[in-house]
Structure 1
């Protein structure tokens, strides 16, 4: 199941979002690229939705590869391709970025906008030649991007029959900013995802307490971070690990020894219980478990 031939369909419009919100608002289309096994399905396939990283300022659904070799991250598009070769339909999504001045919407997921971490954002803005900004501006961008993930999820639910996918097994995830979007959508907006794949993601204390409760229907998460990840991710990782473990929904917490914020999919990683695997193997195993659980539930429903 690791080398199925796949088809890639690019530039599928899954929705739209308002940009230039504070000046001359205009809607722009939101796109995804779909990766799927080439062979016709015999049963509805599970779905993985991935959002790219880039501090909410850069990157795109095909290229969010940063860092210097060997500490250079695998782009989310490659994770989508790997999932498709294992039998999943995988979608790498576009979303609105902070420099576009997006409409933040009316479904807030960040409880304390004034406490949004700014260290990585400030660095990326300097690299891009942008003036310093404030946490409120970044917060609006995060809220907009989270709404876009929700749109993508709803779009895929609507495509269930046309694309032969299982609407009850849609897993969302991403890297860095994309992981934060996925966590916000699942645990802030309570999106009924089957699971979350968070590669170097982040939730602040108040959002963690409010969102991760262990209630029925709350999705499990795969949390991965580097030993020497971004300062705020390293500080918050123990609290996130504890909270997700206490929630008891089958979440897994992994650390990549010796890695910073950027790490390849083939990097060795260690789970909180001491089990070792590569990041890709951890993702693959987590997805396989979710697909099996979803298939079991569906079988029970029709029994």
Structure 2
């Protein structure tokens, strides 16, 4: 009897599942933008609840549902924060996500499990869960998840590309990857590299998993359009990663735009501020065209 009572008690005290939990109150930031911070989007037993932040245009009665940007942060799959688009944008006021929302896009910037918490495919599974949750809660949010673009930078760009190449990613209208790795099978092979920590072993020891985690090996006809943007002087992730992925996408008949940026290192280091601003605006224009 005590066991039954405890089971009943657990069902009462457990937090509501993210599929049903009430949305938190929105902070109104001005410029027609509201922010819902720290929204759980899935339930993973034994780990912290993955959360996302939602940057949304203010809702107007009768207004059409808005497109969605699902954003994945960088950090070598080992670190990073969901509110961070990269150090070049940290001083922007308003910030990049608020700018996207003010332009009429919903932004969901997500946590995902880092390599110290779980190995691949856990972070990709988390992005899939976020996409599913966004579709489920779309009527409350005023969003049209049939017009979703996934966008990531560095490690997040790698995950964004893999999500867009997944067979189940039919809701995606496009993918944007900034200076992202695309082939983990040819990376340095020590046990402590970011790639080895992501995979749980050096790529040469788990070649099948390294291939599964490599966007160049997962390209399929029918994938959504891609925009790949990479600095030509990137000293952390060689620009050839994006060139190789663009070539493979083109061979498969997938629409792809490749923008290589002269003078730019990783995370746009070395670019003048006005050029970073122009690059951001060009990407916003690309997303508008893809989701229009």
**What's the TM-score, normalizing by structure 2?**
0.70
How does 1:18-167 map onto structure 2 within 5 Å?
18=45, 26-40=46-60, 42-63=63-84, 65-66=86-87, 72=88, 78-100=95-117, 102=118, 140=119, 142-167=120-145
Distance in 2 of aligned mates of 1:156 and 1:36: 13
Distance in 1 of aligned mates of 2:265 and 2:99: 23
Distance in 2 of aligned mates of 1:73 and 1:279: 12
Q: Secondary structure at the match of 1:27?
A: coil
8 Å Cα contact 1:257-1:268 kept in structure 2: no
Indicate how the Cα distance of structure 1 residues 257 and 202 shifts in structure 2: closer, same or farther if over 3 A, else same: same
- Structure with bigger strand share is 1
8 Å Cα contact 1:198-1:224 kept in structure 2: yes
8 Å Cα contact 2:32-2:58 kept in structure 1: yes
- CA displacement at 1:88 relative to structure 2: 0.8
- CA displacement at 1:266 relative to structure 2: 5.4
**What's the TM-score, normalizing by structure 1?**
0.68
8 Å Cα contact 1:54-1:64 kept in structure 2: no
Q: Secondary structure at the match of 1:219?
A: coil
- CA displacement at 1:279 relative to structure 2: 1.7
Q: What residue is the counterpart of 2:285 in the other structure?
A: 285
Indicate how the Cα distance of structure 1 residues 223 and 190 shifts in structure 2: closer, same or farther if over 3 A, else same: farther
Question: How big is each residue's C-alpha offset from its partner over 1:3-26, in whole Å with a ceiling of 9 and x where there is no partner?
Answer: 9420111011111335xxxxxxx1
8 Å Cα contact 1:199-1:225 kept in structure 2: yes
Structure of greater Rg: 2
8 Å Cα contact 2:227-2:257 kept in structure 1: yes
Indicate how the Cα distance of structure 1 residues 10 and 81 shifts in structure 2: closer, same or farther if over 3 A, else same: same
Indicate how the Cα distance of structure 1 residues 260 and 28 shifts in structure 2: closer, same or farther if over 3 A, else same: same
Question: How big is each residue's C-alpha offset from its partner over 1:111-157, in whole Å with a ceiling of 9 and x where there is no partner?
Answer: xxxxxxxxxxxxxxxxxxxxxxxxxxxxx2x4211111111000001
Q: What residue is the counterpart of 1:228 in the other structure?
A: 233
Distance in 1 of aligned mates of 2:43 and 2:90: 27
- CA displacement at 1:47 relative to structure 2: 0.4
- CA displacement at 1:221 relative to structure 2: 1.0
- CA displacement at 1:189 relative to structure 2: 5.1
- Give the one of 163, 166, 181 matched to 1:202: 181
* Larger relative contact order, structure 1 or 2 (CA cutoff 8 Å, min sep 6): 1
